[in-house]
Structure 1
Amino acid sequence: MTDFPFPWTDLAARDSAPTEGLLQAAQALWGQALRFDPSDPLWPDRDRVVVSQPGLMDRLRDMTGDVDAGLDMSRAPPGQAIGTAVGLALAEARLSARFGRSLVDHRTWVLCDGADLETGVALEAAALAGMLGLARLCVIAGVAQSDTSGADRFAASGWSVRRVSCEVPGPDGQMDREAVRNAVVAAIAATVRARRPMLIICTQAAGIGSGRPTTDDAAVPAWAAVAARGRTARRGWQRRAFRHRLRAEFTRWQNGAAPPLWEVDWARAWRTNVGSGTPASPLAAAGHALDQIAQLRPELTCLTLAPPDHDPQYTALAIACGTRDHGMAALLNGLGLHGALLPFGVISAVSIDRLRPALRLAAVMRQQVVHLLCDEGAALQGADMIWLPVEQLASLRAMPNVFLFRPCDPVETRAAFTSALARTDGPSVIVLDGRPDTRRPDTEAAPHGGTLPLGIGPEQGAYVRSGPNVARDVTLIASGHEVAVAEALRRRLAGHGIEACVVSLPCWKQFARTDATYREAVLGTAPRIGLERASGFGWERWLGTEGLFLGAEAIANGCDDALLARVRAHLAAITTA
């Protein structure tokens, strides 16, 4: 999602009309403080503005006297606007620490109502903003006089809170708009001097300004002065940027480009740290990947909840967010929306439901955000199997514009990271298993079965991992740790004279984008059996009419006698049919 051609991003959660006080506050912001040049709406150092109400968007368009010629608006659950704005402010802080205030010196503004302040995601994001000291963030909220509990919670999270009364009546008995704007201007001036994030509450009682919110007739001509101020600021910034010693790196970050020889350097680092030595789990390999990417591409910004104790790379790289799942996911959207950074998030797989609203919003906004899910649930056994999130993989795969990767070993983990970094039009989710890679030496030497052309592998979304590529009796399709179960099943079937081919399927949507000839070559014409400790929803797409899906209960004990007997019985039934 972009904020072109206006400086705000509409993450609308409701269709309610804005209060008169909030509209006057917006007019004061545009007239006195906002840095924005309409002639260059994507100027990197412009102020960011998030608006949570479509009704307010309409009134602001009236104020500017302009026509919406391409504003990309996306609706979001209440509170996501504040969470996204905190991510925008965090991006500004990270970039200014890297390049200095001469290149990065802008603010983030939010226009919302009281309902946004009450949501869990907004409160979690507010706590993170207070913890991180994001002093260049200001939320302006229009609330009822009797409902200011949200402001108290923000104050408890380390925010500076100022209240502006919108109850001053004018000569006509309605709101004295000029008095309200002057009070907001004074509050905004305090924001510039504040060392903490600021919340400006515009309180309004019923009956004061209760009619249709309007702007003054002078608002439209004033927009020209706003544009002139922004144009002057932009030209000054361009002169500073031209002389800046880090101009080339700043431009690369803004363009989202990789550094020269990035792929060569990362391949060399991967071989040094992961490619040699004992087999590692996908989770451990992901820790090495983050460490290497951070060294080669310092624009990486990683947020995490509780870093795995056994993997110090996560702790060293990430900003710890505690248990604030909702807020962290919303912050990642803001980091991606700001631009110039690579947002990564590390979360437990059993917390997927708390990630879902922000992930869905990132998919709609087509933002590059990468979520790493530590899949502890898949390793649970016995009575603990009740916590296994069996339906989550299917639900994430069904979400539009979300790519889900489930690698089975370090090689596929690196391919998943490569694809996620190359994909700039939507979020990616990488599900990581903490169990070690258990590949046998023969499959280690020839992961493709030695029959597919060089370069065909996990980067295609699916590939023949072992077994005969052409003359096969059955195709075993699996992802993640279940690939090891499929490999064991292939060897046991071979003892009964059944030639099985193992296909690893780490990313469905990536595989679906390959040409039909490649898909047919990988899947083959033999009966297909899918293995995954998850729901079978959607697997019929790859298994066909004669396929069999074996889920969490069937493969709970690995490749045991019961699993072997069930597969043999299924193949015998197909043969005699």
Structure 2
Amino acid sequence: MKRIDELSVNSIRILSADAIQKANSGHPGLPLGCAAIGYELWANHMKHNPADPKWANRDRFVLSGGHGSMLLYSLLHLFGYGLTKEDLMNFRQWGAKTAGHPEYGHTVGVEATTGPLGQGMAMAVGMAMAEAHLASTFNREGFPVVDHYTYVLGGDGCMMEGISSEAFSLAGTLGLSKLIVLYDSNRISIEGSTDLAFRENVQERMASFGFQTITVEDGNDLAAIGAAIEAAKADTTRPSFITIRTEIGYGCPAKQGTASAHGEPLGEENVKALRENLQWPYDEAFFVPDEVYRNYADIASEKAKAEDEWKKMFEAYTVQYPDMAALWNRYHDADDAKKLWDDAEFWAEQEKAEATRSLSGKTINVLAGKLPNLFGGSADLAPSNKTNMKDGGDFAKENYAGRNIHFGIREQAMAAIGNGLMLHGGLKAYVSTFFVFSDYCKPMMRLSALMGLPLTYVYTHDSIGVGEDGPTHEPIEQLAGLRAMPNLNVFRPCDATETQAAWYSAMTSTSTPTALVLSRQNLAPMPGSSKEALKGGYIIDDCAGTPDAILLASGSEVGCAVEAKKILEAEGKKIRVVSMPCTELFDSQSAEYKESVLPNAVRRRVAVEALSSFGWGNYVGLDGKTVTIDHFGASAPGKVLFEKFGFTAEHVAETVRSLF
């Protein structure tokens, strides 16, 4: 290894150890063990430009082992991405750009928020799928305008998590040759040797998924690491999995190769010993010699040339293929979907009673003709979820141009892959399954919300209306759980207009994911439903003057509330019905608007929803009541369950009467 390369690698180690020690918090093991991997990849193989971190054709790098964030922060600092030495010194402190785990949108150069192990692996698969789909759409002979790799670095923990197997099984099936996985195999987890719980042959598993597998015996051998990366690139039919044997906490005599190197500062004496063992001649914390900074700057300058060449090619591409250039601009135009506001076809009237899942399916097919970058699918449930784009074709190894993704029965990986699709850029992605299985998706949904990714989740079979499949398939608490998540819009529409409004909100959102919660059973079109649904809650059926009571409902129960209103009006009571398809959007409205819909003076309120009562207290208050379900369902026809569990107009009317 050249002296300058050795100094450059050790700079990563020293900066990481110093930052973690100063914070008295962090994970030094991965940065020390993987410093050579990071340097070799970023310096000699990865296509990136620190001067333009969002360049569309850059290679993507995901640190799936997000606990090792100081590896990434050190690379970003040394390569000139804008992280200063002061940022490193403020690692894990209030307001710092260097959070404990990498956060997308918070720190320039971070491609994905990582930390929950395995999710970064799956998001990388999504990025590679996006690259393949966009390349098949835009590339022309002599014009590879989309041509880049996705690299992901993770360790034993990422490989133990089931989500990585789900995602890699799909990646192998799809033959995503632009995906390169770097496996930090240090054989240590928090409790000790991985032999305690993890003795499988990981490479054989990955080979069975359809990956090329490569082994590097010495994680400090830059030449061997580089040769492995180039061998991975040379395989154009399979994704590649590179096992790199590393030593956790490398360079620290008392910690190297031990579990204690994983998740705690080395300690002052051990940091000093690290310097001595690495023959690092500088005692000053956070000190990097000028020759190292010059080396990184020279590399970064060379990296910029790749973008310059791409820009020249793209300029020629726009001249030769002006229609494709215009399409490219649409794919990358965040406001393109706003044109749907005045589109009569999109807002087509509902002609008969239909399930909102079917109405959503019709909307998806309208969207497919108007938003060319719509891309998504289901976890093996497209016929039930109604998510298939009829003329979209199937995304497959043989046809990356297909727009319908078949995720297989892999809900966890599906949600994370959806995040990866959105992180890549250029696509409007959706994923889908039964609503009760949103439990499988929730950790990845949480990252969608945390990263501000407008990914759309299509959840069907939204209540006890599932019927005969019984309590295992009937969601109860799921809606309240999703509503509790910050920065997630949860829509449960009552008819076509509200379903269209939900899709409009999802497609025009720039920083909030959306969950559409849709019925299995048919719902009649509701007089009074309108684009006001975009306010989250609105008056769908009113009375003259001040109401005596207010009924609030969502989805299939809006119709039940309207029928109850008729019963009560016949008794001389004035009733207002409020449709509440999205509580999050309603809560964001002005105080004046909320007062106009739910006047504080009207205390008699009843919420009707065939799911948990949790959360409705915010709207019915101490004086109100709910017609909800706070126990598991049963196996019977859906219509019978609604009657048995009290979701009838007469029972709702009786509940209102009890307030007088």
**Aligned ranges for residues 32-71 of structure 1 at < 5 Å?**
32-51=44-63, 52=65, 53-61=68-76, 63-64=78-79, 68=83, 71=107
Secondary structure of the corresponding residue to residue 549 of structure 1: strand
Say if 1:30 and 1:226, in contact at 8 Å, map to a contact too.
Answer: no
Q: Quote the Cα distance in structure 2 between the aligned partners of 1:348 and 1:356.
A: 13
2:362 maps to: 288
1:248 maps to: 326
Pair 1:421-2:507 in alignment: yes
1:508 maps to: 583
2:303 maps to: 230
Secondary structure of the corresponding residue to residue 56 of structure 2: coil
Aligned partner of 2:605 among 528, 553, 574:
528
Q: Quote the Cα distance in structure 1 between the aligned partners of 2:444 and 2:249.
A: 37
Q: Quote how far apart the aligned CAs of 1:208 are.
A: 7.2
1:132 maps to: 174
Q: Quote how far apart the aligned CAs of 1:24 are.
A: 1.2
Q: Quote how far apart the aligned CAs of 1:241 are.
A: 1.4
Q: Quote how far apart the aligned CAs of 1:485 are.
A: 1.2
- Larger displacement relative to structure 2 (362-371 or 276-285): 276-285
What's the TM-score, normalizing by structure 1? 0.85
Pair 1:87-2:126 in alignment: yes
Q: Quote the Cα distance in structure 1 between the aligned partners of 2:560 and 2:241.
A: 54
Say if 1:138 and 1:199, in contact at 8 Å, map to a contact too.
Answer: yes
Q: CA RMSD in A?
A: 2.7
Secondary structure of the corresponding residue to residue 38 of structure 1: coil
Say if 1:87 and 1:331, in contact at 8 Å, map to a contact too.
Answer: yes
- Larger displacement relative to structure 2 (54-63 or 194-203): 54-63
**Aligned ranges for residues 98-497 of structure 1 at < 5 Å?**
98-100=137-139, 102-144=144-186, 149-166=201-218, 177=220, 180-194=221-235, 195-204=237-246, 211=253, 220-244=293-317, 245=321, 246-258=324-336, 261-265=339-343, 267-271=344-348, 275=349, 277-309=351-383, 314=388, 316=390, 317=392, 318-381=404-467, 384-385=470-471, 387-439=473-525, 444=527, 447=528, 457-468=532-543, 470-497=545-572
Pair 1:566-2:655 in alignment: yes
Secondary structure of the corresponding residue to residue 571 of structure 1: coil
Q: Quote the Cα distance in structure 1 between the aligned partners of 2:338 and 2:534.
A: 21
Q: Quote how far apart the aligned CAs of 1:58 are.
A: 4.3
Q: Quote the Cα distance in structure 1 between the aligned partners of 2:617 and 2:347.
A: 36
Secondary structure of the corresponding residue to residue 522 of structure 2: coil
Q: Quote how far apart the aligned CAs of 1:418 are.
A: 0.7
- Larger displacement relative to structure 2 (21-30 or 59-68): 59-68
Q: Quote the Cα distance in structure 1 between the aligned partners of 2:387 and 2:534.
A: 25
1:215–1:249 CA distance, 2 compared to 1 (3 A): farther
Q: Quote the Cα distance in structure 2 between the aligned partners of 1:204 and 1:518.
A: 60
Q: Quote the Cα distance in structure 1 between the aligned partners of 2:588 and 2:465.
A: 31
Secondary structure of the corresponding residue to residue 314 of structure 1: coil
Say if 1:117 and 1:151, in contact at 8 Å, map to a contact too.
Answer: no
Q: Quote how far apart the aligned CAs of 1:387 are.
A: 4.3
1:310–1:335 CA distance, 2 compared to 1 (3 A): closer
Say if 2:145 and 2:310, in contact at 8 Å, map to a contact too.
Answer: yes
Q: Quote the Cα distance in structure 1 between the aligned partners of 2:550 and 2:475.
A: 26
Q: Quote the Cα distance in structure 2 between the aligned partners of 1:310 and 1:83.
A: 25
Say if 2:491 and 2:516, in contact at 8 Å, map to a contact too.
Answer: yes
Secondary structure of the corresponding residue to residue 53 of structure 2: coil
Q: Quote the Cα distance in structure 2 between the aligned partners of 1:207 and 1:414.
A: 54
Q: Quote the Cα distance in structure 2 between the aligned partners of 1:157 and 1:279.
A: 45
Q: Quote the Cα distance in structure 1 between the aligned partners of 2:160 and 2:650.
A: 55
Q: Quote the Cα distance in structure 2 between the aligned partners of 1:148 and 1:30.
A: 30
Q: Quote how far apart the aligned CAs of 1:250 are.
A: 1.2
Secondary structure of the corresponding residue to residue 412 of structure 1: helix
Q: Quote how far apart the aligned CAs of 1:92 are.
A: 0.7
- Larger displacement relative to structure 2 (50-59 or 289-298): 50-59
Q: Quote the Cα distance in structure 2 between the aligned partners of 1:288 and 1:476.
A: 30
Q: Quote the Cα distance in structure 2 between the aligned partners of 1:379 and 1:207.
A: 55
Say if 2:356 and 2:522, in contact at 8 Å, map to a contact too.
Answer: yes
- Larger displacement relative to structure 2 (522-531 or 65-74): 65-74
1:565–1:383 CA distance, 2 compared to 1 (3 A): farther
Amino acid of the residue matched to residue 424 of structure 2?
Answer: H
Secondary structure of the corresponding residue to residue 523 of structure 2: coil
Secondary structure of the corresponding residue to residue 430 of structure 1: strand
Say if 2:51 and 2:81, in contact at 8 Å, map to a contact too.
Answer: no
Q: Quote how far apart the aligned CAs of 1:495 are.
A: 2.5
Q: Quote the Cα distance in structure 1 between the aligned partners of 2:469 and 2:365.
A: 36
Say if 2:121 and 2:158, in contact at 8 Å, map to a contact too.
Answer: yes
Amino acid of the residue matched to residue 299 of structure 1?
Answer: N
1:259–1:469 CA distance, 2 compared to 1 (3 A): same
Q: Quote how far apart the aligned CAs of 1:163 are.
A: 0.4
Say if 1:252 and 1:259, in contact at 8 Å, map to a contact too.
Answer: no
1:74-114, Cα deviation, whole Å (9 max, x unpaired)? 44310011111111111111111111152111111112222
